[in-house]
Chain A
Amino acid sequence: MKVIKIDKKHWAGGIEKSRSAYRLFGPVMVENKDFSDFEELNAGEMPDMTATDTRTSPKSICFPPEEVMMEYSTDETRDDCNLMRVPVKDYSPRAVIGIRPYDAAAYLIVKKNFDTPEYRDPYWCDAYAACTFIGLAVNEPSRLDFSTSTNSGPFDESGLDVLLVDMGGHYFAKVITEKGAAYLKAAGWEEAAGDGAEQQIEELKVKAERMIQTTISFDRIKEKSIMELHGADFWDDAAFACINCGTCTYVCPTCWCFDIQDETKGKSGVRIKAWDSCMYPLFTIHTTGHNPRETKVHRVRQRFMHKLKYYMDKYEDGIMCVGCGRCVRSCPVNIDIRRVCQSMNG
């Protein structure tokens, strides 16, 4: 595999150069806040490559918190009254700079939902197809990172087009796909790294993986039946402190549930797709008032069962979690997916 060397002196220039062919997205510090998030980079703005985890995940680049899907007019004097039309969208190439390897791996999980043999969500799929993921390896995983035990890891290449590794004065850029090579070329970074680069990357990878302190196991969850886990006795305890705020689902790179709403102003309006959460009672309540997931225990169970069991069974895959640790960090009452997973795997 080809490795390119990018001297940090050439970093800003390359990023700038690539703008002529790509819309750029990257982590930026949110103004007056002490966290960063993924955003489209304005002219002149650079991705913050020192950002540890962004507060929310970069899933928003293809799955915005709110997205207009269609527009309509309810003006009866118009020919197209009450007819839905899809607005023109910009699916020109996007480069996502500095995405963490596990966040890119999360895209592969979410893809199973939005890109199926029978149906294709054009909004997600077209945005995804436009993306080139220029990931940044995590040299020093956080205390909450457990990505090595979720089939991902700090140097995971599975969702990436390029893996950047910070070597101090320069980056090594491991070229994973053609798309990745095209981006590096557009940025003008073409200096071959030479012998030994792959070896150095491997050493950093081993070191980073060793720094990860916690792991989870789900081997026994696979063998248990849905009904056995659903009826287990630990759900009351697991849900006890939860206030159903939904934060865990909003920050998660693999949570994909959404709502569809119409917003009308005067005689024109839009139909939007908006993030939703299984933690809210409104998510499932019937018009009759009957709610199949009436209590918070039902809803907490749904979140963990979906992530750690239903997904696994439906797609014959691992779990619907890449171990980024965001939900653990953000939960106001310290509910920890690692502990719940342990109960389920017990």
Chain B
Amino acid sequence: MQNPYLPYPVRIDDIEIATEDKSLKTFKFVFLNKEDEEKFSYKAGQFGELSVPGKGEIPIGIASSPVEKGFVMFTVNKAGVVTTHLHNMKVGDVMGIRGPLGNWYPWEQLEGKNILIVGGGFAFTTLRSSIVYMLDPANRSKFGTIDVVYGARNPGMLLYKNELIEWEKRDDINMHITVDGTTDPDWKYNVGFVPPVTEAKAPKGDENTYAIVCGPPIMIKFTQPVLEKLGYTHDKIIMSLENRMKCGFGMCGRCGIGKELVCKDGPVFTLDQLNRTPREY
């Protein structure tokens, strides 16, 4: 078994500013050793530890999709020590990645089902990974309807805007993009918070429909009653948690909520599972 603390060496291949206020950047990495890419094979919903020698490591959801080859992609919000340093790094710089870590959205169980994705702010990274995965020609027929409610403060804060516009044009995915507010007179999508847009646009919950919800705590708090009203039972509402982490594979004890370790037993849980777990996240 390999040393799970040892990162794979990677090179920054591309950096893109992801939001207008420059608080988020999207990094594309390539593995220095080709065989490491194989070892890093992941599923949508997992995360990695980005490792900057001298600065530390940070858990970040994998934004690229298992169907995209040759690179891995992460979108990082500038927050503290490591993320700020990362924002100052350049294309060509060498650093490390550990992973893939954690569980993933339950793709085996989701096959044949209708999927509702509800995302807010920059917690859209692993949701992007999931959408790209489901829309892949090899996978699209495995799922029923796909609905996406995605909101940000204003149009400039929406991640992956080009892709969102592409998806808008397709007829095999129902996009419900929304912003809290905008001064743009040409804005042709929704205006309003995620919970009311979900209530108005999302499909009803039933035996065959699952909701995947990622966003800031406040969005989750007000989206839950909406989903309940729409008929989603708690075992069909899937969420992803963010706790402070270090090791990322269940040993350092930091991310525990009850008997679950968010890094290893999660980060993906159903609301039903979370109801039986202390709310320490």
Q: Which applies to chain B's interface (DSSP): helix, strand, loop or mixed? A: loop
A116-124, A154-162, A163-171: which lies at the interface: A116-124
Q: Are A262 and B55 in contact (CB-based, < 8 A)? A: yes
Given A74-B53, A84-B7, A310-B259: A283 touches B254 (CB 8 Å cut-off):
yes
Closest A residue, CB atoms, query B77: A287
Whether A25 sits at the interface, judged by CB under 8 Å, is: no
Whether A284 sits at the interface, judged by CB under 8 Å, is: yes
Given A74-B54, A119-B1, A298-B280: A278 touches B249 (CB 8 Å cut-off):
no
Whether A81 sits at the interface, judged by CB under 8 Å, is: yes
Q: Are B244 and A122 in contact (CB-based, < 8 A)? A: no
B257 to chain A, nearest CB (A): 8
- The contact of A119 among B4, B243, B244, by CB within 8 Å, is B4
A interface residues, tally (CB under 8 Å): 52
Whether B147 sits at the interface, judged by CB under 8 Å, is: no
Given A120-B4, A121-B4, A258-B252: A83 touches B80 (CB 8 Å cut-off):
no
- The contact of A292 among B54, B57, B94, B280, by CB within 8 Å, is B280
Whether A306 sits at the interface, judged by CB under 8 Å, is: yes
Q: Are A82 and B57 in contact (CB-based, < 8 A)? A: no
A194 to chain B, nearest CB (A): 45
Mask of A293-313 contacts with B, CB within 8 angstroms, 1/0: 100001000100110011101
Whether B250 sits at the interface, judged by CB under 8 Å, is: yes
Q: Are B4 and A72 in contact (CB-based, < 8 A)? A: no
- The contact of B56 among A118, A261, A286, A310, by CB within 8 Å, is A261
Complex contacts, B95 vs chain A, CB 8 Å = 82
A318 to chain B, nearest CB (A): 15
B interface residues, tally (CB under 8 Å): 44
Expressed in whole angstroms, the Cα–Cα distance for A280 and B279 within the complex equals 18
A29 to chain B, nearest CB (A): 32
Q: Are A120 and B252 in contact (CB-based, < 8 A)? A: no
Give the contacts of A71-127 with B (CB-CB under 8 A).
72, 74, 81-84, 86, 113-114, 116, 118-122
Q: Are A284 and B254 in contact (CB-based, < 8 A)? A: yes
B122 to chain A, nearest CB (A): 12
Whether A218 sits at the interface, judged by CB under 8 Å, is: no
Whether B251 sits at the interface, judged by CB under 8 Å, is: yes
Given A262-B56, A314-B259: A116 touches B250 (CB 8 Å cut-off):
yes
Whether B258 sits at the interface, judged by CB under 8 Å, is: yes
Q: Are A310 and B79 in contact (CB-based, < 8 A)? A: no
Q: Are B258 and A230 in contact (CB-based, < 8 A)? A: yes
Give the contacts of A262-293 with B (CB-CB under 8 A).
262, 264, 269, 271, 273, 276, 278, 283-288, 290, 292-293
Whether B39 sits at the interface, judged by CB under 8 Å, is: no
Expressed in whole angstroms, the Cα–Cα distance for A256 and B7 within the complex equals 22
Q: Are A83 and B254 in contact (CB-based, < 8 A)? A: no
Q: Are A257 and B252 in contact (CB-based, < 8 A)? A: yes
- The contact of A226 among B5, B83, B253, B258, by CB within 8 Å, is B258
Closest B residue, CB atoms, query A286: B244
Whether A259 sits at the interface, judged by CB under 8 Å, is: yes
- The contact of B254 among A225, A271, A276, by CB within 8 Å, is A276
B53 to chain A, nearest CB (A): 4
Whether A62 sits at the interface, judged by CB under 8 Å, is: no
Q: Are B276 and A226 in contact (CB-based, < 8 A)? A: yes
Whether B96 sits at the interface, judged by CB under 8 Å, is: yes
Whether A227 sits at the interface, judged by CB under 8 Å, is: yes
- The contact of B276 among A86, A227, A305, by CB within 8 Å, is A227
Whether B242 sits at the interface, judged by CB under 8 Å, is: yes
Q: Are B252 and A276 in contact (CB-based, < 8 A)? A: yes
Complex contacts, A310 vs chain B, CB 8 Å = 256, 258-259
Whether B6 sits at the interface, judged by CB under 8 Å, is: yes
Q: Are B56 and A260 in contact (CB-based, < 8 A)? A: yes
Whether B189 sits at the interface, judged by CB under 8 Å, is: no
Expressed in whole angstroms, the Cα–Cα distance for A84 and B253 within the complex equals 24
Q: Are B57 and A260 in contact (CB-based, < 8 A)? A: yes
Q: Are A86 and B6 in contact (CB-based, < 8 A)? A: yes
Q: Are B6 and A84 in contact (CB-based, < 8 A)? A: yes
A344 to chain B, nearest CB (A): 15
B44 to chain A, nearest CB (A): 20
Closest B residue, CB atoms, query A313: B259
Whether A70 sits at the interface, judged by CB under 8 Å, is: yes
Whether A69 sits at the interface, judged by CB under 8 Å, is: yes
Between B56, B249, B252, B279, the greatest number of chain A beta carbons within 10 A of the residue's beta carbon is seen for: B252
- Give me the 9 closest cross-chain CB pairs, A-B, nearest first: A257-B253, A72-B53, A310-B259, A292-B280, A314-B259, A264-B54, A287-B79, A287-B80, A119-B249
